[in-house]
Amino acid sequence: ERQVHEGDVYLHGGGNFGTIWPAHQQHRIDVLQAFKGRRVIQLPQSIHFADLQSNGATSAAIEGHGQFTMMVRDKPSAHFANTHYACPVIECPDLAFYLRALDRTLPSTDIVRLLRTDLERSSAQSAGLTAADAVDWLRERRMALRVMRLRARLASLRTGRGSTRLAGYDRVAWHRIRRGCRLLSAGRVVITDRLHGHIMCTLLGIPHVALDNSYGKLGNFIARWTARSADLHTANTLADAERVAAQVLVRLGVR
C-alpha cells in the first residue's frame, strides 16, 4: 500500500480460493479490508470451500469492500460466486493461455507422469507410486530461485524502482516455465492431474491424459474450455490413464 498509492489492485489467479489453502484466503481477505475505496480484481480462480460456514468471512469481506470483481475458471465456481458474493462475476480461462508460444524439446521417454504431491492430490491416483514412477514440479532446486529473488530485491533497493524488482520476478517465473516445458517435453505422452500440466501440454502440443484433482478442479476446467483439444485424453483412474497412454503410444508408432 505504501508503494502503490492509486490504481486497481489485482489478486493472483489459480486454484487457492477457499479452504484448502487458508493462508492464501486470509491474505485475500486482508487485501479487501486494507484497500477499501480501490477496485480489487480477482484474476481467474477455481473456488472450493469445505462448507458454506467457512465461506462466511470471504462473503462478508467482498460485500463490505463494495468494489470487488471475481473472475472464475469454470461453471461450478461461477455458480458459487453468483450465489454467494455481492460482486460482478466473469468467466475467464486460466491466464496461462496468454503465455507466448512455448517450444517443445525432443522426448526421451515414453510416459511422463506429473502427479500432485500436495493437499490437492487424489490418494487413489498416487497410491503405489514411487518418486521414480512420477514427478511433481514442486520438487525443484530452490537455491537458484532464492538467489534470483534476492538479486531482484537488492536491485530494487539499489535503484529505488519497483520495475527492477518486477523484472527479477519475471526471470524467476520464466525459469519455472522453462523447467516445466523440459519436464513435460521429456515424455512422448504425459499423464497429469495438474491443471497447468494440462494447459502447458496443450500449448506445447503434447498428447496427454488428464486425471482430476481432489475436488474436480481439472475436470471442471476441461468441461468449460478445453474438452475439444486434439491432444487431450481423460481417465478416471491412474490404471485407466496408463491404458490410454499406451494406446496413444501405439498410434504414435512407438509401441
Name residue 229's amino acid. S
Over residues 103-116, the pLDDT tens digits come to 899 999 999 999 99
- Please report, to the nearest 10 degrees, the dihedral formed by the alpha carbons of residues 220, 221, 226, 227 taken in order: -10
Q: Identify the bridge partners of residue 89 per DSSP, sorted by sequence position.
A: 70
pTM metric for this prediction: 0.87
Contacts of 253 (CB under 8 A, 6+ apart): none
pLDDT in tens, 6-51: 889 999 999 999 999 999 999 999 999 999 989 999 999 999 999 9
**Residue 160 pLDDT > 70:** no
The per-residue pLDDT for range 45-84, each reduced to its tens digit, is: 999 999 999 999 999 999 999 999 999 999 999 999 999 9
